[in-house]
């Protein structure tokens, strides 16, 4: 895909918050590759802001595990990429550093929250990038910018050094223009790290055969239901038909828990955020006001200046959902819903090898178009199920609608990241990209 002509400067789409001078080393699996790193992944000596004012001036004294791994394999860091503040958004408009633009059409959002990483890759500024995906934050921008992005299985990539937003949902993952490059980066970043106690020692071993003969592809009706743009649905059905022609079997299925998966996701992530973001008090790092003020006054003042509106909204929603009297109605119900989502996937996966559908219900929307928070949340409806269940999911480009990219989402069984990427590779080859 060809990116729109740069508007000038070396970062015309505002993909980066910080550019780095680092050069790639000459040895290793990633020798010579420059990698863009999302700004919620800690980098020693390089500011890490999470797109927020509350981390202004913060430079981590240590690297995230994935950063040590890519540097150890000879990659260089091209810079830290723009994002929705703390990962809270689906458009990269909620950044203290201004919105990122979509290289395919700069009047449109690149998706989010890893919008800077996706835009940097789509614009050809870097070959590969790292993002993080809590409810679709890798797959959404990959779909909107016309590139490939993988959310690994929960427990497949170390979260050490990833600034936490919703621990039970999020994973670091790769973005690139091709499945092959995503697979290569995944091979490096999935190496075991005992510092993440939810990580399993099961490094990714690439297997790109491109063979989908007799593969059983489940297609849930709910992924093509209300709210999904018919033109997007049609493109995705055509992509699935390509794999059918290559010998795969398409099996219609149903996922009733989709009725409440999005609500379960938002209750869970805001609850976890309300706890996680309590650490940002301006005392140990970040900007602080007069420490002679009483604690709560100092705390409230620094957070009022430092957090953007969406972050405040999510902290409040989570505080409310966890409060006495409402816990049973919101948080406990959301966890029951989450178990049902997992059970639905487990049931479907008894009869199929992978599940396919659209990544996003629409193509990239215009910058400034979605002003209502709920309408922005609704755009995550097709990506959150994979996070709730901890399963691997990839978005791979499958054509255009009105000149804007559409993503095909392929979801797999837990720890079958290899198969998910192999199916994406088969489609990529079969579609003759």
Partner 1 sequence: MVSPDDVEKIANLADISLSRDRLGEFTREFNAILDYFNVLDTVREEAGEGGCEFNVMREDEITLSLPQDEVLALPRESEDGFIKAPRVME
Contact predicate 409/423, CB 8 Å: no
Q: Which residue has the tokens 């071993």?
A: 205
Q: Which of 203, 207, 279, 309 binds partner 1 (CB under 8 A)?
A: 309
Please report whether residue 355 would count as binding partner 1 according to CB under 8 A: no
Catalytic option among 52, 90, 113, 114: 113
- The least CB distance from residue 303 to partner 1, in Å, is 6
Q: Which of 19, 216, 237, 312 binds partner 1 (CB under 8 A)?
A: 312
* Of the candidate residues 19, 216, 237, 313, the single one contacting partner 1 (CB under 8 A): 313
The least distance separating partner 1 from the CB of residue 11, rounded to whole angstroms, comes to 28
- Rounded to 5 degrees, φ, ψ at 164 are -70, 135
Which of 91, 132, 137, 183 is labelled catalytic?
137
Among candidate residues 120, 154, 22, the one with its CA nearest the CA of residue 75? 22
Residue 155-174 contact track with partner 1, rule CB under 8 A, x = bound: x------------x------
14 CB-contact burial (10 Å; exposed 0-12 / middle 13-18 / buried 19+):
buried
Question: CA 355 to CA 432: how far, in whole Å?
Answer: 22
The whole-angstrom separation of Cα 220 and Cα 229 is 16
Catalytic, 113? Answer: yes
Near partner 1 by CB under 8 A, which window of 64-72, 127-135, 220-228, 336-344?
336-344
Per CB under 8 A, the list member of 254, 319, 362, 429 interacting with partner 1 is 319
Report yes or no: 160 and 68 within 8 Å, Cβ to Cβ: no
- Tell me the CB-side half-sphere exposure of residue 155, using CA atoms within 13 A: 12
What is the SS3 assignment for 291?
coil
Q: Taking CB under 8 A as the rule, does residue 323 contact partner 1?
A: yes
DSSP secondary structure letter of residue 136? S
Stretch binding partner 1 (CB under 8 A), from 13-21, 179-187, 210-218, 294-302: 294-302
Min CB(316)–partner 1 separation in Å: 5
Helix (H, G, I), strand (E, B) or coil at 307: coil
Site for partner 1 in 66-105 (CB under 8 A): none
How many of the other CB atoms lie within 10 Å of CB of 173?
A: 34
Among positions 316, 351, 366, 368, the unique one binding partner 1 when judged by CB under 8 A: 316
Q: What is the dihedral of CA 193, 195, 200, 201, to 10 degrees?
A: 30
**Interface with partner 1 by CB under 8 A: which residues?**
58-59, 61-62, 153-155, 168, 194, 197-200, 259-260, 263-264, 266-267, 274, 278, 282-285, 288, 291-301, 303-304, 307, 309, 312-313, 315-317, 319-321, 323, 329-330, 333-334, 336-337, 339-340, 342-343, 346, 372-374, 377, 389-391, 414-415
Catalytic residues: 38, 113, 137
């Amino acid at each position: 895909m060809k990116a729109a002509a740069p508007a000038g400067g070396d970062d015309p789409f505002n993909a980066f918050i910080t550019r780095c001078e680092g050069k790639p080393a000459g040895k290793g699996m990633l020798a010579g590759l420059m990698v863009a790193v999302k700004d919620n992944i800690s980098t020693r000596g390089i500011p890490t802001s999470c797109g927020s004012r509350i981390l202004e001036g913060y430079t981590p004294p240590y690297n995230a595990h994935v950063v040590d791994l890519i540097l150890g394999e000879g990659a260089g860091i091209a810079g830290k990429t723009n994002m929705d503040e703390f990962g809270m958004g689906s458009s990269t408009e909620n950044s203290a550093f201004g919105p990122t633009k979509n290289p395919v059409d700069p009047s449109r959002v690149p998706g989010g929250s890893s919008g800077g990483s996706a835009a940097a890759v789509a614009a050809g500024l870097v070959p590969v990038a790292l993002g993080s995906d809590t409810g679709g934050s890798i797959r959404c921008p990959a779909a909107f910018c016309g590139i490939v992005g993988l959310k690994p299985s929960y427990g497949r990539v170390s979260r050490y050094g990833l600034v936490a937003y919703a621990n039970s949902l999020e994973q670091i993952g790769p973005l690139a223009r091709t499945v092959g490059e995503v697979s290569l980066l995944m091979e490096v970043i999935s190496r075991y790290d005992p510092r993440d106690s939810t990580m399993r020692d099961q490094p990714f071993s690439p297997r790109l055969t491109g063979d989908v003969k007799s593969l059983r592809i489940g297609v849930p009706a709910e992924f093509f239901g209300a709210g999904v743009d018919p033109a997007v649905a049609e493109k995705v059905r055509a992509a699935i038909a390509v794999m059918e022609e290559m010998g795969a079997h398409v099996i219609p299925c149903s996922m009733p828990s989709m009725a409440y998966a999005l609500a379960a996701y938002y209750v869970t992530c805001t609850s976890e955020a309300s706890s996680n973001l309590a650490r940002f008090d301006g005392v140990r790092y970040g900007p602080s006001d007069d420490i002679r003020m009483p604690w709560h006054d100092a705390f409230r003042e620094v957070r009022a200046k430092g957090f953007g509106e969406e972050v405040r909204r999510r902290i409040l929603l989570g505080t409310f959902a966890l409060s006495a009297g409402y816990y049973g109605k919101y948080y406990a119900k959301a966890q029951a819903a989450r178990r049902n989502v997992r059970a639905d996937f487990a049931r479907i996966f008894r009869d199929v090898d992978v599940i396919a559908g659209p990544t996003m219900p629409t193509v990239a929307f215009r910058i400034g178009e979605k002003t209502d928070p709920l309408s922005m949340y609704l755009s995550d409806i097709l990506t959150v199920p994979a996070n709730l269940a901890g399963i691997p999911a990839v978005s791979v480009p499958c054509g255009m609608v009105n000149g804007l990219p559409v993503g095909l989402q392929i979801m797999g069984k837990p720890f079958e990241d290899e198969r998910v990427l192999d199916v994406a590779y088969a489609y990529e080859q079969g579609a003759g990209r």
